[in-house]
Structure 1
């Protein structure tokens, strides 16, 4: 898994979206996707 904004590998699971899809967060830039 890689951050689409900064290409960092430091990504963690961050719960789920309202549609039930897995949500991730980049620990370097803070972007959620």
Structure 2
């Protein structure tokens, strides 16, 4: 469902996902270089 509260949560989730993906990419790059 979508409400003002749901949209806010979606934005928070997107931020967390972005950080997680960033960390995964860093780990992947480190593994490739190793």
Indicate whether the TM-score tops 0.5.
no
TM-score scaled by length of structure 1: 0.17
More helix by share: 2
Return the structure number with greater relative CO, CA threshold 8 A, min gap 6. 1
TM-score scaled by length of structure 2: 0.17
More strand by share: 1
